[in-house]
Structure 1
Amino acid sequence: MILITRWNSLGHRGDNTENLVNSINELYDKQNLALITKVPTPIKVIKIHLGKIVEAFFEEKSTVDYNGIVQGYGICFDSKETNKNYLPLSNIHQHQIDYMNKFDCQKGYAFIICNFKKIGGFYLIPIETINNFWNNSKKGGRKSIPVAGLNDRYIVKMKNGLPDYLDALNKYIDDKLKNKAIV
């Protein structure tokens, strides 16, 4: 059981990135481009004081931050951010990778959208790339996904200050449909 006693914990360090992704998802919905749902983390409230939750615990492991449909394609993804020019694999949990792999097996598209704050840019990181780095780390390889190891086709462009990931997603989908190497 994970006890939550302070809501400004490290668990909320990516809230700014999540807020940006939430905003672009709302824009996609308004423009009928996609329907993406933020997946709530299931919690059990233990104590409420003055109308605020002051004590709770996670009931179960969550999956990923978002799932939905984009022009007929099922997607699921997590949003991450890092102050480095790499994404530490410790920021990705085994149950998230397991879920994304199951989603991929069902012909869905699974990925991470990462805000690399040090370089001032976002990348869409496909599950294939995540698996490659994850599996190599288990064999003694690096414990992170470096920006230099990412495919520039999946750079997320900004639109009015928001990470407009649909172009990168379209390239990822196109690459998979044409059986191009993703990693």
Structure 2
Amino acid sequence: MTTWRSRGHRGDSSENEIDLTNDLYRRKKLAYIKKNPVPIKVIDIDNKGMITKGYFEQKAYVDYSGIAQGISIAFDVKETELKSLPLSNIHVHQIEDLKEHAKQGGVSFILANFKMYNEYYLIPLEILAYYYEKSLQGGRKSIPYGDMDKKFQIKREFNGIINYLPTINTYLSSKQELKRQYIV
């Protein structure tokens, strides 16, 4: 049970920061981004109301989805204490969900917290897909911090807000260049 809990809650601190940011965006009418629930079937509850037995009814979608200024957004939040983001932290169905979202005209990405450097980066779907496909062909199994493009670094505000909306605008203006650069 402890192993499942620790694995399932690895990104909680980063997700808490993103939740605060999304709440601020909603209050300022900049975006409406919600945390997607994890579909769990509860089997047993103890006398304190704690779930003691349950299972995932289906694979969960990515962590967040919503809309910002008329643009559909879907993303997952990941954090790492390493000098790279292991691709094993990103499930295949999450990559597929992000791809499907993008095919429908949405903006899909990963928000990665490189805790060692105390920095967040937006990792565009094009870059994620590139590293994922290369890993399937025997390439590296992670996205190195050294390959992070500073233009996709997300500014952390003085109040702890992870202000990722401006970085989405940078991503949108770079999409054609990324498609050429990260051909899979």
Normalising by structure 2, we get a TM-score of 0.92
Root-mean-square deviation (Å): 1.2
Q: Number of residue pairs matched?
A: 177
| C-alpha contact 2:11 2:79 (8 A) present in aligned 1 | yes
Q: Which residue of 2 aligns with 1:94?
A: 92
Which of the two has greater helix per residue?
A: 2
Is 2:51 the partner of 1:38?
no
Q: 1:166 corresponds to which residue?
A: 165
Deviations 1:85-128 (A, max 9, x none): 21000000100000000111111000000110011100000110
For structure 1, list consecutive stretches of 5 or more residues without a partner in the other structure.
Answer: none
Structure 1 consecutive aligned stretches of length 4 or more whose deviation exceeds 6 Å: none
Give yes or no for the alignment of 1:126 onto 2:124.
yes
Q: 2: distance between equivalents of 1:55 and 1:24?
A: 33
The alpha carbon displacement at 1:181 in A equals: 2.3
In structure 1, give the amino acid aligned to 2:165: L
Alpha-carbon distance in structure 2 between the residues aligned to 1:120 and 1:150: 14
In structure 2, how many angstroms separate the alpha carbons of the residues matched to 1:131 and 1:150? 15
- How far apart in 2 are the matches of 1:130 and 1:181? 11
Counterpart Cα distance in 1 of 2:46 and 2:108: 39
Correspondence for 2:14: 17
Q: Which shows bigger deviation, 45-54 or 59-68?
A: 45-54
The separation in 1 between residues aligned to 2:137 and 2:45, in whole angstroms, is: 46
**How far 1:8 moved relative to its partner?**
3.3
Letter in 2 for 1:171: T
SS of residue matched to 1:33 = coil
Query: Structure 2 regions of 5+ residues with no counterpart?
Result: none
1:63 and 1:74 mapped to 2: Cα distance? 15
Q: How does 1:118-157 map to 2 (within 5 A)?
A: 118-157=116-155
1:175 CA displacement? 1.8
Q: How does 1:49-128 map to 2 (within 5 A)?
A: 49-50=46-47, 51-128=49-126
Calculate percent identity across the aligned residue pairs: 45
SS at match of 2:120: strand
**Could you tell me the TM-score, scaled by structure 1's length?**
0.93
